[in-house]
Amino acid sequence: MPTSISKTPVVAVVGATGAVGAEFMDCLTNRKFPVSELRLLASARSAGKTARFGGKDIVIQELTEASFQGVDIAMFSAGGSISKTFAPLAVKAGAVVIDNSSAFRMHADVPLVVPEINAQEIANHKGIIANPNCSAIIAITPLWPIHKLNRIQRLIISTYQAASGAGAAAMEELRESTRAYLEGREYKNTVLPHPYAFNVFSHNTKIDPATGYNDEETKVIAETKKIFGDQNIRVSATCVRVPVLRAHCESITIECERPITPNEVRDIIKTAPGVKLVDDIERNYFPMPKDASGQYDILVGRIRTDVSDPSGKSISLFVSGDQLLKGAALNAVQIAEHLIR
């Protein structure tokens, strides 16, 4: 159902008070997205508060069934249940929805888009476009230009996921629990299932007893196949929470169809969109969350031959990307930019 969207659209942000909601507004500002009107939508308890955008204070409105009249693009980041209820209403009102939840990602008629990889899928939308899982985006954006030149047959990912992936409340829990730990005070975690300060634990999503994989890992596997348009690629993932405020890291090993060298990979990454090579062997300087935080590009380094594969077809590398930006808000705004071209 693609229809022409105004070059200066009315944009609604659903979940405006959340961590990703704030980044939506920053990305729209920093990328000079031509918004004619911005509507900030959230729960009733946030209604009446204000947020700064375009040099003005915008009053946050309560999200209701009538919120989308006159809206051209609606960006959702308020959780799957909200998306399932309100995204169809937004579409019915004439808006194109860009949804950051997992509610629609694996629907056959919903494009799952990383613009650097499959921007052409945007034109196939029927009212809803899905933003992929943050870990999937950060892993596969640097891998796509390799895949185009030398097909990746197998992919093994281990994630080191920051608090930002669990939202603003988890980020605050990390701050407060760290403060309490350093001061020798007891702290009761309420947002995440395990103590977060100075601790590492398996991603806090439900584990499928049949496979042993948690929901986050299953998303990475399924979404990679859909975005790459390749159901035969073999993917395994282990997703872990680490005590970092924002910017996920991922250790990745790929097996290609043909032999490939680290220098070939470095040359590909140097010119690939949305990524930046950070691979200083001499200084032992590689991608880190402190450098990726606040950056649009995904940092890529530690590029080396996987010595466990004598065929020479396998490469290991390490990446870091801002979960709130390329892993969420930036990717959505890039999709919106394609909609108004």
Give the tokens for residue 189: 């975690």
Pairwise CA distance, residues 22 & 71, whole Å: 19
The active-site residue out of 147, 248, 249, 256 is 248
The amino acid at 317: L
Q: DSSP for 204-234?
A: SS-B-TTT--BHHHHHHHHHHHHHHT-TT-E
The active-site residue out of 27, 134, 239, 256 is 134
| Cα of 193 vs its chain's centroid, Å | 22
- Give the number of other CB atoms < 10 A from CB of residue 194: 11
Length of the chain: 341
125 is catalytic: no
248 is catalytic: yes
**Where do the H-state alpha helices sit in the chain?**
19-30, 80-92, 115-118, 134-149, 168-182, 215-228, 262-271, 289-292, 330-339
Residue entry with tokens 């990475």: 220
The residue among 218, 115, 248 whose CA lies nearest residue 98 is: 115
Active site members: 134, 248
